[in-house]
Amino acid sequence: MTPAAQPVTRETLTGKHTAVLDLAKIRADFPILDERIHGQRLVYLDNAATSQKPRAVIDAIRHYYEHVNANIHRGVHALSVRATEAHDAARETVRRFLNAADTREIIFVRGATEAINLVAQTFGRVHVGAGDEILITAMEHHSNIVPWQILCAEKGAHLRVAPIDDRGELDLEAFAKLIGARTRLVAVTQVSNALGTVTPLRQMIELAHGRGIPVLVDGAQATPHMAVDVQALDCDFYAFSGHKVYGPTGIGVLYGKQDLLRAMPPYQGGGDMISSVTFEKTTYNDLPYKFEAGTPDICGAIALGAALEYIDRLGMANVAAHEHELLDYATAKVGALPGVQLIGTAPVRAGVLSFVMDSVHPHDLGTILDREGVAIRTGHHCAQPVMDRFKIPATARASFAVYNTREDIDALVDGIRKAHEVFA
């Protein structure tokens, strides 16, 4: 039976927003937006690469090092207790953000990249053998391609790729047909970093689970833009990075269902991931600590918790509604410019506008925009197979966050016009 049409709509992504955001107040929360770039007001439209940090996150980092700093789980002195309690509270904040069932399902890692590699090197090594298959899509970030290629090369397995169409939408029927008797894992993005396409994730998970196959979701580009409920999705693993969702760099999260995590071997060995050690045998610690060897990024986890609490205060539905309005405005304005071709025109997108210009290389455009104070991303966006699919070497990518405004997009449009005049 052919899968039904993609049910994802703007309404399912944004939910019911309850308030119009006070953008002046929000922008005041982000100190870096007061920076001048080449004498111009900073217009930061590179949020898919990394988002800027609100004062609440900066203050959390400063407070930690001024009042809390100590190692966790290993001390009875006051600072160690204080640090442990703050770290545990951050894990609970992440659990609520993802609506996970238990904090034991929340593993702190360096980012989505490490989360995916953890699953590849633990679950993958156990469950994937010669002749088996791993299924991904043609819009994946390199971080959700290369770990599986490494595993397939080691095991003699095969990487299967579900195609996308000319709008950047997943071919769901082809995806369904690629799920076979030898498929051992499906690993897919929720939102494409290069195109902004929102995948029909629930249907994809249902199709995989119908064959008894677990699903890993790369949520790095989804968590800044929409509410995520891992229990409602019923995904088996979910990965995201803190720095894309207003938190610091070097911290991220792997969510995994408890039964799967318990059955997986450790990812790394060292302190805190053990219960007892002798020269003859090591007994591993309980979840989540089994996968958190060594001293973690304590401050990073606490600051990530502060970032997620900041979003919660704004209301994710309000954030999503604001960003979708911006994306509509940018799509209309940029798409109407002479010589501009939008790349990725799926009807349901989030946070990203990619495009190319006739006779202007994306890197040249990015340089001209920078002189105007406008920061965008140019290149292949760690998604070279997507560029190959559209037969282009690179795109210019503007990506949005809660602090962006229509005036930011107007500045982008003015800069593109200047580039057009320079290269006309």
CA 343 – CA 341 distance, rounded (Å): 6
Provide the whole-model pTM: 0.94
CA 221 – CA 196 distance, rounded (Å): 8
Give every CB contact of residue 34 below 8 A, 6+ residues apart in sequence.
Answer: 42
Looking at the chain, the domain(s) classified CATH 3.90.1150.10 span 10-54+315-423
Q: What is the 3-state secondary structure (H, E, C) of 122-178?
A: HHHHHHCCCCCEEEEECCCCHHHCHHHHHHHHHHCCEEEEECECCCCCECHHHHHHH
| Residues with catalytic roles | 382
Residue with tokens 């991931």: 273
Tell me what pLDDT residue 9 has: 55
Q: Which amino acid is at 13?
A: L
Tell me what pLDDT residue 1 has: 37
- 3-state secondary structure at position 94: helix
Give every CB contact of residue 292 below 8 A, 6+ residues apart in sequence.
Answer: 107, 108, 272, 273
For the stretch 213-234, pLDDT in tens is 999 999 999 999 999 999 999 9
Phi, psi of 37 (to 5 degrees): -115, 115
CA 92 – CA 104 distance, rounded (Å): 10
Q: Which long-range contacts (CB under 8 A, 24 or more apart) does 143-146 make?
A: 143/112, 143/113, 143/116, 143/218, 143/220, 143/382, 144/116, 144/187, 144/188, 144/189, 144/218, 145/385
Q: What is the 3-state secondary structure (H, E, C) of 30-90?
A: CHHHHCEECCEECEECECCCCCCCCHHHHHHHHHHHHHHCCCCCCCCCHHHHHHHHHHHHH
Query: Is the preceding peptide bond at 347 cis, omega within 30 degrees of 0?
Result: no
Q: What angle do CA 307, 260, 131 make, to 5 degrees?
A: 115
Cα–Cα distances (Å) from 318 to 20, 89, 125, in that order, read 7, 25, 41
Q: Which residues of the chain have pLDDT under 70?
A: 1-18, 424
The number of residues in the chain equals 424
- CATH class belonging to 57-312: alpha beta
Looking at the chain, the domain(s) classified CATH 3.40.640.10 span 57-312
Residue with tokens 């503007």: 398
| CATH annotation of 10-54+315-423 | 3.90.1150.10
Pull the structure tokens for residue 273.
């991931």
Residue 103 C-beta-side C-alpha neighbours within 13 Å: 9
Cα–Cα distances (Å) from 146 to 120, 134, 142, 236, 277, in that order, read 10, 12, 6, 20, 34
Phi, psi of 106 (to 5 degrees): -110, 110
Pull the structure tokens for residue 109.
């890692």
Tell me what pLDDT residue 11 has: 54
Pull the structure tokens for residue 327.
């994306």
With CA atoms as reference, report the closest residue to 148 among 137, 134, 138, 161: 134
